[in-house]
Chains A and B, each alone.
Chain A
Amino acid sequence: MSRMTNRSLPGSAPGTAAPGAGAPGPAPSLMAGPRPGTGAEPAKNAPSGGPWGPRTGRGKPGRTSPLARGGWTPWLYLAPALVVIGGLLVYPVYQLGLISFLEYTQAQVSGGEPTTFQGFGNYATLFRDEQFWQVLLATVVFAAACVVSTLAVGCALAVLLTRVRAVPRLALMLAALGAWATPAVTGSTVWLLLFDPDFGPVNRVLGLGDHSWTYDRFSAFALVLLEVVWCSFPFVMVTVYAGIRAVPSEVLEAASLDGASQWRVWRSVLAPMLRPILVVVTIQSVIWDFKVFTQIYVMTNGGGIAGQNLVLNVYAYQKAFASSQYSLGSAIGVVMLLILLAVTLVYLRLLRKQGEEL
């Protein structure tokens, strides 16, 4: 928000702006609508000082018609962003939905057979498939375990970061950033090698002989969980650490003067203050972990022994691309989208309710 300072605007209308933007008078003050984050081309807007008007001017000119007070101007600025979002988000989701209602396999793509409308046929096939329900359950449980572990590890290490000296802090930061920067395929392969029955150092250190970690369903999931936590905790840690740093030190001092324990400080002071950050990292983690693909695909060789380690995303891939049933894969994609939307909405709702009570 600090960027929304008073600047002379009319002369600095960016090249992308529509003609109306140059209108003098109340127009600039009403351009506070679009925020920098929503602009698809902030780089283009930024050099000219940005079209954002002084915040104080918002809504001042009484209730005249939107056109007269330049009500459409924000939308003109938003138009490029909307077009990009429409092209990159709405259109693919629309296609996904459309394909899920068709019979669309390789034969239809390459014109060997005509594309036919199936109604909810693909969904019926999917919901009748016993394996789908098993995979769905496995995905939900696995994602939940990943989210909880990632948040626990990330928050614990964030608190630890605030407690240690500069050198260990730097070391921990570097280690975390290294894990963060490692591509998922590389990370998975390395973890697999660490736990390799024949050559892996883990078995050698633990003296487990040639125990195979990927044979049993739960140990295979646990192994993948370790990798997922390892590569996603840095995001939580860094974000929460930044949040803790922003908490005024007087508050923490006051708490410790009152004799609060570490745990108490976290629970009653830090966590409530960090709520917005925790909400963001939780939702991010839910979405990431629900969509885990690479780790399962690489570490369990495409879904494990007899498909025991399949999660929805890998299952959708197997259906859509390995066996070219694009329409069935799309149906799985739509189901995943709806589940994630529902989970996110419910979660936000819950938080808001809690917030009101607090």
Chain B
Amino acid sequence: MSRSESTPVSDAPVLRMESVRKTFGGSVVLRDVDLEVAPHTVTALIGASGSGKSTLLRCANLLEEIDDGAIWLDGEEITDPRVDQDAVRRRIGVVFQAYNLFPHMTVLDNITLAPRRVHGVSRAEAEERARELLERLGLGGKADAYPDRLSGGQQQRVAIVRALAVRPRLLLLDEITAALDPELVGEVLEVVRGLKDEGMTMVLATHEMGFARDVADQVCFLDGGVVLERGTAEQVFGDPRQERTRRFLRRIVEAGRL
């Protein structure tokens, strides 16, 4: 069912984490986390707030420095202190929960900033690609608007376009629907579904269990900074082995979120 199985040539994982440990002050946020993300697959990180999902994503993008363990991107160890961190981040796209669009720039400038300044793409070329992506995500008329004139759903889709504009190898989505009104969640998730169909490799932290079950090839349940359970969506949601996973899912079901 996942594309990686049908394309064995590029089966080497895009992202690999081994025994990653991260502490903030005295508290351990990630302990001994292992993760493998195959090309063209979607990995969903689920778990309660504070279980370490967001931190895991920030570590993968080197926005946080890990205490121990190692992370590889396309076989290169990116946690090696000699590695150029800016070059690593250039290959990874991130979409944040709070969108983090640049309020002083138009939508178009938000999107073309990195292609032009980081990747040396000409303005014309960058804008052409940006407009094309905006069109595809149903934001055709918004290129010259400022972010604060858009709805939350539109802002988040712009943030996705901004992350995609540099053709990243890997896309990290950090609770991208958590700040949205319920009726706007659908339009953003639709975009993610479309990206999966195009073969984008993604890791997403999410509270949308229904969506995770739908779209994820691999589901990891984090609890207290540990990957307590991992497997296909059917395994984790249908037949969880750990008691804690079962309890977490039961709470979700009771809250009417699955």
Note whether A and B form a binding pair: no
Binding site for A on B (CB under 8 A): none
